[in-house]
Structure formats: C-alpha cells, structure tokens
Amino acid sequence: MGQHLSRTVAEGRAFMQLINGQPADALSGERIDVVSPSDGKVFASIPAAGAADIDRAVKSSREAFENGPWSRMPAFERGRLLTRLGLLIEKNGDELAALESRDTGKPIRQGKADVTSTMRYYEFYGGAADKIHGDTIPFLDGYTALTLREPHGVVAGIIPWNYPMQILARVAGAAFAMGNTLVVKPAEDASLTTIRIAELALEAGFPEGVFNVVTGYGRDAGAALSAHRDIDYVTFTGSTMTGTAIQQAAAINNRGVTMELGGKSPQIVFADADIEKALPVLVNAIIQNGGQTCSAGSRVLIEKPIYEAVSTELAARFGKLVAAPHDADGDLGPMVNKKQQGQVKSFIAAAEEAGVSVLARGSVDPSAPQNGFYVAPALFGSVDPKANIAQQEVFGPVLSLFAFEGEEEAVRLANSTDYGLVAGVWTKDGARQHRVAKKVRAGQVFVNGYGAGGGIELPFGGFKKSGHGREKGFEALYDMSATKTIVFNHG
Ligand code: NAI
Ligand code: MG
C-alpha cells in the first residue's frame, strides 16, 4: 500500500490555496504545474498567486489578528490547538509523508522522518505557548515596571522546498504559540504539504484567517508578500541572494526579519577521533535529502596523520551510494527540479575541469526514469580551500575533503567561508572539544555527532551570511514576539 499510495497520491489534483478558511484559486486563474522530480512528469497543479491574492490573504490575517476569536484566546488554548494539529499530523502521517516525498523527490523514509519532526514541533510549541512570559523589573522608588511579550501581529512566512513541512512547522509553531497570525507562501516546487497542513489546522479548530496559505512564484507572490505594508514581521528560509532581496523589501516598511540562509558547514576530524563512529555520520550529513539541506556537512577537514585512511574509507562508502526514485527509497532521491540538477552537475563538472581530484562517484539507479533529476554523488579530495567548490553552497550530494595540521589551522579552515551555520568537531580530547566549539563561528556546533540542523528544542540559525535571528526551541518564541515595557507610577 505504501508504495502504491506514494505513486498515486494527489494524481491529477488541482490544489487550492487556503484563504480565510476557504479553498481559493488565484484571482487570475493562473496555475503552476506540479512536477515529480523522480520522473519529470506533471501530476497536479497549484494556483499562481499575484499581488491581489496576497492582499486578500493579508487582509484576512489582519482581521483574524485584530478582531477574531484568536485575538481573545488565552495562551493555553492556542497551545491546545497546536497540540491537536500535531496529533492530526501524526494521524495523517502516511499521507503527508507520501505527498512530501512525491513533491520533492526525497526518499519516502525521509518523508516519514519529516512527519515525525513536524509533529514534534507542534507538540513542543503547543506545550510552550503558556510557559513563556515577561519580567518585573526593579526600578525607581514609587514605580513598578514590567514587560509583556506581545505578538508582532501578521507574520509572513516564506518557505523553501527542501524541508517544506518541517520548516513550516518551526515557523508556524512559534508564531502561533505567541499569538501571531500567519500568511505562508511555500515554494513553487513544493507547496502540497503546506496546503494539507493548513486544512488540518482548520480541522483542529484554528479560527479562519489565522493560517492563510498563498501559492505562487517567488518573484510574484513572494515579492508581493515581503513588501506588503500590512505585514508586521517576515521570516524566510532559503538562498542568501533571495534573503537579501526579502530584507530589502521588508525594509520599505522597516519590518523585522528572521533570515535562515545558506551554509558551507565543516566537520573537523582530529587524529584521536572515533573514526568508526564518525564515518557514517560524515556521509549522512551530506547525503541526507540529497545534500539539499542548509546545514549539510559539505566540508570535512581531516588531520593529516589520518587523512589517507579516512579519505579511503569515505571513498569506499561514496562509491556505493545510489540515487533512486523517491518511492524506491534509495540512499538519496533526485534533486528537486531541473535547475537544481543543472546547478549541482555544473559545480561537479567545473571542479573536475579545474583539476580537483575526484575520489569517488556514486551512481544513479539504472532503472530510474530517464527524465528524473538525478545526480550521482561526488567526493572531492585534497581540495584547495580557496576553490569554488570549497567556498560556494552546492546544495547537492557533493562533499569536499581538506587536510589540516593542528588545531589552529583546523579552526582557520572551518571559519574560512562566508557562512556560519553548523559545525561538527570529532575528538576525544575534552579540553579541545570546548576550545574548538567556542572558536568555530557557527550557530550550532555538534561534538562527536552531527545534527544537520536537527533537534526541535535546539536554537538554530546563522552567523555571517548564514543569516540572523534564531528558530527552534524557546529562542524562536522571542523572535516571534516583541517586548512591551509598562511602567506604573504609584508614588
Ligand atoms: P530561493 O531562496 O529563491 O527560494 C526560497 C523561497 O523564496 C521560495 O518560496 C521562493 O518562491 C521564494 N522567493 C524567491 N524569490 C523571492 C523574492 N524575490 N521575494 C520573495 N520570495 C522569493 O531558492 P531557489 O531559487 O529555489 O534555490 C536556489 C538555491 O537556494 C539553491 O540551490 C540553494 O543553494 C539555496 N536554497 C537554500 C535553502 C536553505 O534551506 N537554506 C533552501 C532552498 C534553496
Ligand atoms: Mg514538486
């Protein structure tokens, strides 16, 4: 049933947006084809929203924020709605996993793992909604001063295609816990689970207009949403370039933003590390989701005495990796679209042409459809830290290895890109674990492990060009609210 469902799910469906609790086509009637990355075939369609659709959705979210039942709802009841949504996601988990997997090309087991994380986000923020509060502040004689944590108002969430359900959940969970309403624009390449989850939110009892979904292209719907005058806060996950454009758009109205952007995350492997424990993690950190992960571990820095041994082991493992259709559940699926496939392939070709040594290539399942967007994984060795492949985010199954000598060089190499999202440190030396974790510029550092951004409870976000603001955990609740200070003079 599982495989059958994942091939037929959503076949031929003309999906609708969800505005003010109602299914809504784009006002223009225009639609976008939904393509399966596994075979390149169109299997459904979504509305192509423009500025007028965005305006409708923002008005609905504004009305829900100012005047609807949501505006009077106690925090614990908002929390209960989030918890109920999490339970509905669990109940509909097979359908959601199949939908996500078909829409993005990710292996079905990754779709299932995404459902589990998604459910956990709503559970976590459901529990957190009534457990975050302000302070009372010692002030002058005759005064009482206190702070309230207030919602921003209408939040815009612009979501990418790599982990649509999970990224929506970390935005929506925190936004709703703090009492905001939300207009979400999922990526044109992966909107289906967002639409389905907004439907489930209605079923859970969320009032109309609290959770609006508009679908469409970034240049139309996304740009109109981020520049809309009646949006109070913008949160975005995606490419660094688009992040800059969205910040510029939000600056027209001087609105706050959370930016979760790209990465070129390093893992540092010292000679004393537990290599057997590290190897599968080093591979998974770049192969999970086909490397289309902002926090993918795309650079491995290896201390010289073990460089040969570790690179040989990694090459053996890379050579066995197979890209296969989403429902065949291979090591990785296809890339999300033709453009992404082209981008990854041209990074590989350019590195080969520049003479970077190819240690291993994985393969594409020979029975995979010809028109799918597959890329055979690539492992590059002894990479020059200044090389393009060492500096740019590839967003595909491409891993670069570097040799280093000593702790100082390791830290310097780790910090030698424009990015600073996640890092891994592998060593048994406790003092070194602390020293290196503190010196690496990254929003999350894993010691003797690598989370690829995981952990619902763990604050997540970037230094440098990887962005600013923090998502996940309790920290996200601060980003999704503003402090109001109230001072009583009773002297
Ligand atoms: P993108 O960053 O342009 O798209 C992400 C989201 O932003 C989508 O919903 C898109 O519709 C929207 N968007 C695009 N242009 C916009 C604009 N001007 N105003 C408002 N919204 C806009 O990413 P894209 O083009 O799909 O992928 C290109 C590269 O971005 C990838 O190769 C990868 O390197 C990176 N990327 C990084 C992600 C991450 O998690 N950090 C996620 C997706 C892509
Ligand atoms: Mg798709």
Which residues have a Cβ under 8 Å from the Cβ of 216 and sit 6 or more positions away? 26, 32, 47, 48, 49, 50, 53, 185, 188, 222
Atom of ligand 1 nearest to the CA of 161: 43
* CB of 226 shorter than 6 A to ligand 1: yes
The tens place of each residue's pLDDT in the chain, 491 residues long, gives: 334 445 577 899 999 999 999 999 999 999 999 999 999 999 999 999 999 999 999 999 999 999 999 999 999 999 999 999 999 999 999 999 999 999 999 999 999 999 999 999 999 999 999 999 999 999 999 999 999 999 999 999 999 999 999 999 999 999 999 999 999 999 999 999 999 999 999 999 999 999 999 999 999 999 999 999 999 999 999 999 999 999 999 999 999 999 999 999 999 999 999 999 999 999 999 999 999 999 999 999 999 999 999 999 999 999 999 999 999 999 999 999 999 999 999 999 999 999 999 999 999 999 999 999 999 999 999 999 999 999 999 999 999 999 999 999 999 999 999 999 999 999 999 999 999 999 999 999 999 999 865 699 999 999 999 999 999 999 999 999 999 999 999 98
The CA 187 to ligand 1 mean position distance, Å, reads: 8
* CB of 340 shorter than 6 A to ligand 1: yes
CA–CA dist 36, 372 (Å, integer): 8
pLDDT in tens, 341-357: 999 999 999 999 999 99
- The amino acid present at 114, given as its one-letter code, is D
- At 224, list the tokens: 């109109």
CA–CA dist 201, 55 (Å, integer): 22
The CA 242 to ligand 1 mean position distance, Å, reads: 6
CA–CA dist 360, 316 (Å, integer): 8
The pLDDT, as a whole number, for residue 362 is: 98
CA–CA dist 287, 331 (Å, integer): 7
**Per-residue 3-state assignment (H helix, E strand, C coil) for 30-70:** CEEEEECCCCCCEEEEEECCCHHHHHHHHHHHHHHHHCCHH
* CB of 297 shorter than 6 A to ligand 1: no
The pLDDT, as a whole number, for residue 271 is: 98
C-alpha closest to that of 271 among 385, 414, 405 = 405
Residue 260 annotated among the catalytic residues of the structure:
yes
- At 35, list the tokens: 């393509």
- Out of 32, 161, 239, give the residue to mutate to test ligand 1, the one with the largest number of ligand atoms within 8 Å of its CB: 239
| Helices and strands in the chain, H and E counts | 16, 24
C-alpha closest to that of 450 among 263, 321, 240, 324 = 263
The pLDDT, as a whole number, for residue 452 is: 65
Could you say which of 3.40.50.360, 3.40.309.10, 3.40.50.10490, 3.40.50.2000 is the CATH number of the domain covering 266-441? 3.40.309.10
**CATH architecture of the domain formed by 3-261+475-485:** 3-Layer(aba) Sandwich (3.40)
CB neighbour burial string for 123-154, b if at least 16 within 10 angstroms, e if fewer: bbbbebbeebeeeeeeeeeeeeeeeebebbbb
Residues with CB under 5 A from ligand 2 (ion): 103, 189-190
The pLDDT, as a whole number, for residue 453 is: 58
The CA 392 to ligand 2 mean position distance, Å, reads: 25
Decide the pairing of beta strands 154-158 and 143-151: unpaired
Q: Find the distance separating the first CA and the last CA of the chain, reported in whole Å.
A: 72
- The amino acid present at 107, given as its one-letter code, is P
The CA 238 to ligand 1 mean position distance, Å, reads: 4
* CB of 471 shorter than 6 A to ligand 1: no
Radius of gyration of the chain from Cα atoms? 23
* CB of 51 shorter than 6 A to ligand 1: no
CA–CA dist 297, 291 (Å, integer): 8
Where are the chain's structural domains?
3-261+475-485, 266-441
Is the torsion defined by CA of 451, 340, 48, 36 positive or negative? negative
The pLDDT, as a whole number, for residue 1 is: 34
- Out of 235, 242, 375, give the residue to mutate to test ligand 1, the one with the largest number of ligand atoms within 8 Å of its CB: 242
The pLDDT, as a whole number, for residue 141 is: 97
- At 39, list the tokens: 């075979």
Q: List C-alpha distances in Å: 89 to 96, 167, 187.
A: 8, 15, 20
Q: What residue's CA is closest to ligand 1, atom 7?
A: 218
CA–CA dist 34, 133 (Å, integer): 43
Strands of the 256-260 sheet, one edge to the other: 22-24, 17-19, 211-213, 181-185, 154-158, 233-237, 256-260, 467-468
Q: Could you tell me where the DSSP H helices lie in 205-295?
A: 223-226, 240-251, 275-287
The pLDDT, as a whole number, for residue 7 is: 57
* CB of 110 shorter than 6 A to ligand 1: no
The pLDDT, as a whole number, for residue 491 is: 85
The CA 162 to ligand 1 mean position distance, Å, reads: 10
Dihedrals phi, psi of 266, to nearest 5 degrees: -95, 150
CA–CA dist 396, 293 (Å, integer): 8
CA–CA dist 174, 293 (Å, integer): 21
Strands of the 422-426 sheet, one edge to the other: 357-361, 378-381, 398-404, 297-303, 265-269, 422-426, 444-447
Are 281 and 450 within 8 A, CB to CB? yes
- The amino acid present at 419, given as its one-letter code, is Y
